[in-house]
Amino acid sequence: MSGLDEQQPTPETDAISVADLVRDVAIALHDGDSRRAAGLVINLHPRDLADVIELLSAEHRVALIQALGPAFNYEVLSEIDETVRDQLSEALPNELLARAVTELDTDDAAYLIENLEPEDRDEILAQLPKGERAALERQLDYPEDSAGRLMQSDFVAVAPYWTVEQVIEHARESDDLPDSFSEIFVVDPTFRVIGSVELSRILRSKRDVPISDIMETDLDTVLATADQEEVARQFERYDLFSAPVVDENGKLVGVITVDDVVEVIQDEADEDMRALGGVGDESLADSVFQTAKSRVPWLIVNLGTAVLASFVIGLFDATIEQMVALAVLMPIVASMGGNAGTQTMTVTVRALATNKLGSTNAPRIISRETLVGLLNGLILSVIMALIVFVWFGSSRLGGVIGAAMVVNLLAAALAGILIPLALDRLKLDPAPASGVFVTMVTDCVGFFAFLGLASVFLL
């Protein structure tokens, strides 16, 4: 055992903050003291070490991993941000990646090498045992973000005529079983899954009992080509801890566990949040060019909608010149409409993402949001009319802005639900696109309603 392995945590390293730890590690690596750098992180949990590696510069990340040497826990690579992991996969030697692949579960191993250049990936695969290589190549053949990529290829499968004693002996003596498992699958001669047995039930059954007598046959199977979002919803809906994964022929090819699904749920929630903000699939580890590239498309679209809103204002330039108060109050109408539209849009996009909004309940939800928009518009219009009367001393101006707010909040409610529904019907992702178009509607309708009513009733 190396000296690094023998090092024990100290009160100093326990109390140190992540920021201070990253700074100290970076200083040690900059000074060429790799032993000190490794000693600072040797006792960290893989998730905590992953955080440290993410916060280091690109060259220091590789240097720290190399400094740890055999003491490096390859599980850290499965905890690191995807962008950083891809950068490390490109920078680390293939020999180290090959060792990591043999230590990781097949799903994590696939994520580690999936974006490598074909020649590098082939070189790594060539260093693996034949069985592991075949399993990993099969997993890489499945579509990205599918159940086949998410599953673990290592599982325990037995015949239905086996007894409890045979299963226990098999689990004790076989070398190719997963390190940990809580469920055993029962398959027929063609390897179609026909049932499952939890370990707790096996341990509480007599040795001569056939597995077929204690297995559960009501299984929730997952198709290997199914989207991982669908898998996550299936786990959430039926409170699953694990599920067998089958191919198009119904043959058992892997297993998905709840810890994998938790990561999917978190990743999908993060993706939806970023999409609503129009920032795309970006990471803090991305370069300036990559970050700008992911953000600029929707900013260009937003620029176009802003120009359209300005064109609407330009139609009433003479009206604005005659009454300066209109220019002061215009942003209020548009802003309130935009906020109301964003509220409705956020609820709608989330409901679509979780399959809780569809053709069966869409009419009822549209009616509800319309009435909510109308009610909110009436309440806010009264408040705003009173403010304008006190501010400018004009009841007619207060009435105009109140009426404009009712119109705009009603339009915002309709846009907030109808635009995401329309995009979803067109098989487009409503998350990134809805915000731009809802803002366009509320700006244009708000300016047109306010200035149009003002030109009719005030001038």
Helix/strand/coil for 186: strand
Q: How confident is the model at residue 18 (pLDDT cuts 50, 70, 90)?
A: confident
Q: Residue 149: which of 63, 262, 45, 260 has the closest Cα?
A: 260
Is the pLDDT at 326 greater than 80, yes or no?
yes
The segment(s) of the chain belonging to CATH 3.10.580.10 are 157-276
Residue 278's pLDDT is 66
pTM over 0.85: no
Q: Residue 419: which of 430, 429, 407 has the closest Cα?
A: 430
* CA distance from start to end of the chain: 89
With tokens 């955080």, the residue in question is 51
Q: Residue 298: which of 431, 200, 124 has the closest Cα?
A: 431
What's the CA gap between 422 and 438, in Å, rounded? 12
The segment(s) of the chain belonging to CATH 1.10.357.20 are 288-457
Residue 276's pLDDT is 67
What's the CA gap between 71 and 4, in Å, rounded? 7
pLDDT 10s digits, 134-186: 889 999 999 988 999 999 988 999 999 999 999 999 988 887 788 888 899 99
What's the CA gap between 246 and 350, in Å, rounded? 29
Angle at 353 between CA 351 and CA 358, to 5 degrees: 55
Fold of 3-145: MgtE N-terminal fold (1.25.60)
The segment(s) of the chain belonging to CATH 1.25.60.10 are 3-145
pLDDT 10s digits, 56-75: 998 999 999 999 999 999 99
Is the pLDDT at 12 greater than 50, yes or no?
no
pLDDT 10s digits, 349-401: 888 877 888 888 999 999 999 999 999 999 999 999 999 999 999 999 999 99
Residue 16's pLDDT is 57
Residue 435's pLDDT is 87
Is the pLDDT at 92 greater than 50, yes or no?
yes
Average pLDDT over residues 192-203: 94
Q: How confident is the model at residue 15 (pLDDT cuts 50, 70, 90)?
A: very low
pLDDT 10s digits, 224-249: 999 998 999 899 888 888 999 999 99
Fold of 157-276: CBS-domain (3.10.580)
What's the CA gap between 105 and 123, in Å, rounded? 19
Is the pLDDT at 5 greater than 60, yes or no?
no
Cβ atoms of 412 and 373 closer than 8 Å: yes
Query: Checking DSSP bridges between strand 222-223 and strand 242-246, what pairing results, if any?
Result: parallel
**What is the SS3 string spanning 203-227?**
HCCCCCCEHHHHCECCCCCEECCCE
Residue 8's pLDDT is 42
Q: Does domain 288-457 have CATH number 1.10.20.10?
A: no
Q: How confident is the model at residue 280 (pLDDT cuts 50, 70, 90)?
A: low
Residue 281's pLDDT is 67
- Selected residue with higher pLDDT from 273 and 302: 302
Strand order in the sheet with 157-158: 157-158, 183-187, 193-198
Residue 1's pLDDT is 38
